[in-house]
Structure 1
């Protein structure tokens, strides 16, 4: 069963992500998953988001529970994905990370349909906590 913990996003991220969805030529499963996440999120101002919440351009430390492997990922817009350590918001794990709070975990289908469990261990950088509202 897929776990969907409560999530929080900023109003600015919501606006930018809605524009992204509106601009997509191919509105496939990734866009649908992101839209679902946006509709269930608690939306707050950029100055109200807690420091332990994953927002766009946050760098996170997480662990895949079955393998014990740690990841350091930066959640980015699709045009910024590519460099090692970045994950697009339109990737299944990127969409699932948005709005999570430290300590929460997500389940998502991996290759071959295997269910993977990722636990958010730390937010290494969050633009809002750093006062970087233009990212």
Structure 2
């Protein structure tokens, strides 16, 4: 479950790539990620705000209860490695992060059914803000 109380923003390139990824997975219409990309505001990579989580962004997040901060990178499934902080966009956490702005809270349900949340504290790296409009 993602927090849909606010609009998400994604780039048109991320939109296309994620839609194709979902099609290859056979889940183009019935996943939280499909719902998110269908409802998102779509912008060009050149105009996406630097405080928005895009694909391959490295972010700093923290537990709302005051837990320690940690860095995560939102990635595609082949690069996912949770132990190293590479979180697949197809995971509940990855979907919850996509399109968030700094200061917003990612919310999702874990495998155990419990709601979990992380506050997006900072974007440490965003490809588009670095002038990379193709990754």
- On whether the aligned pair clears a TM of 0.5, the verdict is yes
Unmatched 5+ stretches in structure 2: none
Specify the SS of the correspondent of 2:130: coil
Q: Report the counterpart of residue 21 of structure 1 in structure 2.
A: 22
Q: CA deviation at 1:28?
A: 9.2
Unmatched 5+ stretches in structure 1: none
Aligned CA RMSD, in angstroms, stands at 2.1
Residue correspondence of structure 1 range 52-131 to structure 2 within 5 A: 52-66=51-65, 68-82=67-81, 84-131=84-131
Query: TM-score, normalised to structure 2's length?
Result: 0.89
Specify the SS of the correspondent of 1:113: coil
Q: Report the counterpart of residue 45 of structure 1 in structure 2.
A: 44
Q: Report the counterpart of residue 31 of structure 2 in structure 1.
A: 32
1:31-54 C-alpha deviation (Å, 9 max, x unpaired) = 611101101100001111000000
Evaluate the alpha carbon distance shift between residue 19 and residue 3 of structure 1 in structure 2; reply closer, same or farther with a 3 A threshold.
closer
* CA–CA distance in structure 2, aligned partners of residues 15 and 48 of structure 1: 17
Aligned residues: 133
